[in-house]
Every structure is written in C-alpha cells, then in structure tokens.
Amino acid sequence: MARMKTDLCIIGAGSGGLSLAAGAVQMGARVVLVEGHRMGGDCLNYGCVPSKALLAAAKQAQTVREGGFGIAPVVPQVDYAAAMAHVQSAIATIAPHDSVERFEGLGVRVIQAWGRFLNDRELEAGGEVIRARRFVIATGSRPLLPPIPGLDQVPYLTNETLFDLRERPGHLLIIGGGPIGMEMAQANVRLGTKVTVIEGDRALNRDDPELAKIVLDRLRAEGVGIAEGAQATRVSGKAGAITVETGQGSFTGTHLLVAVGRTPALDRLNLAAACVETTRAGVKVGPDLRSTNRRVYAIGDAAGGLQFTHVAGYHAGVVIRPILLGLPASARTAHIPRVTYTDPELAQIGPTEAEARAEHGARLSVARFAFSGNDRAIATGQTDGLIKVMVVKGRPVGVSIAGAEAGELIGPWTLALANNLKMTHVANMVAPYPTLGEVNKRAAGAYFSPRLFENPWVKRVVRVVQRLLP
C-alpha cells in the first residue's frame, strides 16, 4: 500500500468536514479528505436541501389551493415528478460548491473511498495508508430503523430514498412525528397525497406544547392525519398495501416512510483499533470535541450531540483552533437554535418554558407576543403565531417561536444568547416597519411593559418630575 503523511485527515465530506477542510487548507495545513459516498453528505443529498426544496414546491401548490386577498382559489395541477425534479435541480445547483474538483482546487487531497483505522495513528482508504498528526471524524449519521417486527419484510422509505420517488404516493404512512416526519407530511399532503403520521408519543414532543399545537392544528386542517400515542407494534403487507399496527388500531397505506430519528455512522471506521471509545449516541468526546485518542476529534452528528447541519459547521470552527493553532477551544450548546420548516415554522433556542421553569423556578419571567398583533402579519394573512421569551435576571435564556418565518426570527435571539446580551439590547433594536421582525422587539417590550407601566413608583417619579420641570 502507498503511504502518506499529512497534518490533518478528515473522514467525511458533509457540511462539517467540508467546512473544516476548506478552512484548514487555506490556513496552510496539509489536508486529506476521505469520503466513501457522496460529497456534501446527508444535508445536500438527502436532508436539508431536498426537503426544503420539496416544501417550497408544496407551498406553491397550497398558495394556489387557498387563494385569498381577492384571488379565487383553484385546484392545483400537481406534477409530482416535476416537483421532485425541482428537488434534484436544487441539489445539482449546490453540488459544485461541495465537489471534489473545488476542494482539490483549494489544495485538499480528496480520497473517494471508505476509511478504516489500522491503529491509533493510521487510517487506510482507497489502498493508501494515511498517517496524520490529527484526525477528525465527520461521518454524520444515517436513518435510525426501529426494531418493529415485520419492518424488514416490507418496502419502506427513509429520507435517503424518499426523494427518488417520481410517482405520487396514494397514501403515505409516516412512522415518526418529529421534525422530519411532520415536514414531509405537510409537503406530501399539499402535493395531493393522503398522509397519516403515526407517533408513539406526542407529535413534535421536543417542542413547547402550546407552540407545537399551532403547527399541528394547521397540518390537521390541511388534511394530515396525526395519530399520537400510537406506538407501532408490527408492520406487514407488500408494495402498495402496507399496514402498521398500533395500540390504537391499524393503518394501511400505499407507502411507508420511517422517520424516527438518526444514528451516527461509525460502523465502518474500526474505532477500537484507534483506541476511540463510543457510546450509543456517537464518539465519546469532551467539551473540546477530542476523543479518548488525543489525536482524534469528532464533530457534527458523529460527536453524539445535537444533530443539525449548523452544529457541524460550528464544531468545525471549534476544532480548527486547537488542531492548527494549538489554542484551547470548547463547544457550547446554549446558543444553538433548531427549526422545523413546516408552515408555520417552529423555532427554538435554549430551554422551552417548561424546561426553564424546572431549572430557574421563581426567577423566571416569560414574555409573550402573538403574531396577531403584528401589522405585517395582518397584512399578509400570517397571524397564526406566538413568541415566548424565557428571561432570568434581565437576560433571555430561551426563546420559542411558532409562526411565519420563525427560522429567520430566531436569528437575533441566537446572537443575544451567544453573547450574553440583555433584554434591553433587543428592546433598543429599531426594526423596519412593517416587518415580522418587529415581533422580536415587541416581545422584548412585553417583558418591560409591566415593569414600566404597572409599577406605581414609576408613576410617582414621573409626577414629581413633571411638577419640577419648568
């Protein structure tokens, strides 16, 4: 086998691995990037990009279907294959940015093969042995398949195969009422498919129940069937007629999508040979994302924490400092947002109200503002929404938003939590009128209003000052 030495070997060309490779090579490091499947990873090929592209096509259909503002509603003529072609077009447009050619042009050595550790210092990939000063595992995750009896006997879809469809499903059953399940439920029902979501717990159970209800009510109104507390106990049938049995009865459809979560993709790496310990969640790492082998780091889904593309990119920025510059760095989670891209969207950063109350007790204040009080939302017919801001000692510790553009609205709160800002900083913001962005400022105002307008001492001070003014 050919042998090579390098400063940094990155295993996995998803968002985290690519960000790290581009940054490291441009800072002067010798970088080898190993990828056994598709450049761009899950996010580009099977996750974020295709799902949002399909949601965009579905929203177009729903706009036509609903009409409004003096425009008559009509039944949309949905070409499911064309909608999926839009998905592939979006992937193809972004792919050159993540391509082998681009990264080789930057100076990265790209090996398109699966990697496997030989020992604590060496990795074999594509017939070459790579000896690196530091390794970073950025292999991401794959769909988790639950141990439901009969599942392995029927054809089923995951996010890795759903976007290969070209014929619209007649009745799509979805096991899993989390973000992926609910996004794909709404996308498909808007494109004309009958959809039933089967969830063993509460749909969108990680989110604030009050805000999740806003989203779920919309999905139900659009025709999505949602069975909650319905644990799948058996799957049977064949292509075109698949039955999922639950404690609440059975559901039969033409297609089955399994969307119950994800598991880290580590099985090919032979991590035991590298003295890298793992848990069920992923590689065992410390706050600095370093594994039990001091030469090996893990980022993104492989690190066993929050499974989001933006977290992988954030982790890349964390590990580049100790790897290239020898500087200490550690990853935090308090300022990491998450978004479910249904319509309306659901966004969260920090703890929900229930989580914050459990942690902070009587010290917690909750500021609320409904989208129905926002002029832009009224003008555009997007008044179904609510923002909650959890505040402790004048600082926001968590924010929950359900409503139009919630994923965009969470941005300023991400800045606030990342930099330990106070509610006064948000209140001092001047938002252009009329925008949905005023929701954030009004939420800050809702926090200060009782302290200003319901405080008798403020009124007394004002009366005294007014008497003293010339």
Q: Is 301 assigned to a binding site?
A: yes
180 is in an annotated binding site: yes
Q: Is 250 annotated as a binding residue?
A: no
Residues near 129 by Cβ (< 8 Å), separated by ≥ 6? 1, 2, 3, 4, 118, 122, 123
**Between helices 209-221 and 179-190, what is the axis angle to 10°?**
20
CA distance 191 to 117: 46
Retrieve residue 252's tokens. 């039969």
Question: Angle, nearest 10°, between helix axes 179-190 and 48-66?
Answer: 40
| Residue 241 C-alpha from the chain's centroid | 32
* Strand 232-238 versus strand 225-227 pairing type: unpaired
* Angle 440-443-448 from CA coordinates, rounded to 5°: 130
Token duo for residue 251: 């559901």
The answer to whether the annotation marks 179 as part of a ligand binding site is yes
Nearest 5°: phi and psi at 110?
Answer: -105, 125
Residue 261 is labelled as binding a ligand: yes
Q: Is 178 annotated as a binding residue?
A: yes
Separate counts of helices (H) and strands (E) for the chain: 15, 21
Spatial distance between the Cα atoms of 302 and 136, rounded to a whole number of angstroms:
10
First to last CA, the chain: 91
Question: Any idea which residue has 């200003």 for tokens?
Answer: 452
User: Is 284 annotated as a binding-site member?
Assistant: no
Question: 14: annotated binding-site residue?
Answer: no
The response to whether 182 counts as a known ligand-binding position is yes
Please report, for residues 65, 112, 256, the alpha-carbon distance to residue 13 in angstroms, rounded to integers and kept in the order given: 40, 10, 29
Is there a contact between 378 and 438 (Cβ–Cβ < 8 Å)?
A: no
181 labelled binding-site residue? yes
Tokens found for residue 59: 């929203």
Say if residue 140 carries a ligand binding annotation: yes
Q: Say whether 199 counts as a known binding-site residue.
A: yes
Whether residue 52 is annotated as binding a ligand: the answer is yes
Q: Known binder of ligand: residue 411? A: no
Annotated binding site: 52, 115, 139-141, 176-183, 199, 261, 301
| Binding residue ranges for NAD(+) | 176-183, 199, 261
Instruction: Report the binding-site residues for FAD.
Output: 52, 115, 139-141, 301
